Amino acid sequence: MQLPSLPLSFELTFAIFRR
């Protein structure tokens, strides 16, 4: 599992956490 963009993953996680 490799992430091409760290900021992108962060934004995705944030969106899921915000719900």
Amino acid 1: pLDDT: 55
The whole-angstrom separation of Cα 1 and Cα 9 is 12
pLDDT at res. 8: 82
The pLDDT of residue 4 is 67
Structure-block tokens of residue 13:
């996680």
d(CA 18, CA 2): 24
Encode pLDDT of 1-19 as tens digits.
566 677 888 888 888 888 7
Predicted local confidence at residue 6, as pLDDT: 77
**pLDDT score at 3:** 61
pTM: 0.12
